[in-house]
Chain A
């Protein structure tokens, strides 16, 4: 099983600041099968990026994703209050398909 480890577990930043979230895989995965999601309380996860760095529909360009192999990152520039959420990475290249444990982003 591929374990995805996200860091940090929590992140508290102010509006206008930049956030960088990390996702490390226990073994190499294809970029084609790495996705990022944002989840707010009471809502289903919302796709942010697929294929490691392809932005999903209606995702603002303040959000950027990158990485390859075992190390991936999600960057949010110029944070807004509405960005407060839990962010998950997912790999679906190898079964069992797995998710990171999540990073909780709090906007002060």
Chain B
């Protein structure tokens, strides 16, 4: 069974940095593109970033391009999101998802941006 576990969500000040992690299991991690999606509590879903299986193509939403960096470590079955220059509007739940005919999601980690 596919299992994704996000971690790293904490309270951070505006302008600060944070790195989220996502540990994958139950599938051949290195065979799949992966994504980050976020959601402000009580609001809708926003795709944030995606990365191909070999890290050959990185993709970002306009709202985070230049501030966030997606990466992966296929040896350790891990996906990362480096978040810099954080803003209040970056707060929310961050989910990682496995690509495929359908996306499989983790349970999310909460990022709070507050002074």
Residues of chain A with a CB closer than 8 A to B104's CB: 47
Measured CA separation A92–B98 after assembly (Å): 12
- How many B residues have CB within 8 A of the partner chain? 19
Of all chain B residues, the one with the shortest Cβ separation from A32 is B101
What's the least CB distance linking A79 to chain B, in Å?
A: 23
Contact in complex: A99, B108 (CB < 8 Å): no
Contact of A99 among B45, B50, B101 (CB under 8 A): B45
B35 at the A interface (CB under 8 A): yes
Residues of chain A with a CB closer than 8 A to B103's CB: 35, 47, 90, 92
Measured CA separation A50–B95 after assembly (Å): 19
B46 at the A interface (CB under 8 A): yes
- How many A residues have CB within 8 A of the partner chain? 19
Of all chain A residues, the one with the shortest Cβ separation from B59 is A95
B47 at the A interface (CB under 8 A): yes
**Do A44 and B47 form a contact, CB below 8 Å, given A35-B102, A50-B101, A51-B101?**
no
Q: Is the interface of A mostly helix, strand, loop or mixed?
A: loop
Contact in complex: A97, B35 (CB < 8 Å): yes
Interface code B72-115, partner A: CB below 8 Å = 1, 0 otherwise? Answer: 00000000000000000000000100010111111110000000
What's the least CB distance linking B76 to chain A, in Å?
A: 23
Contacts A/B (CB < 8 Å), 29 sampled: A32-B101, A44-B95, A44-B105, A44-B108, A45-B95, A47-B102, A47-B104, A50-B101, A50-B102, A51-B101, A51-B102, A56-B102, A88-B44, A88-B45, A92-B99, A92-B103, A95-B50, A96-B59, A96-B62, A97-B35, A97-B47, A97-B50, A99-B44, A99-B45, A99-B46, A99-B47, A101-B44, A102-B44, A102-B45
Residues of B within 8 A of A (CB): 35, 44-47, 50, 59, 61-62, 95, 99, 101-108
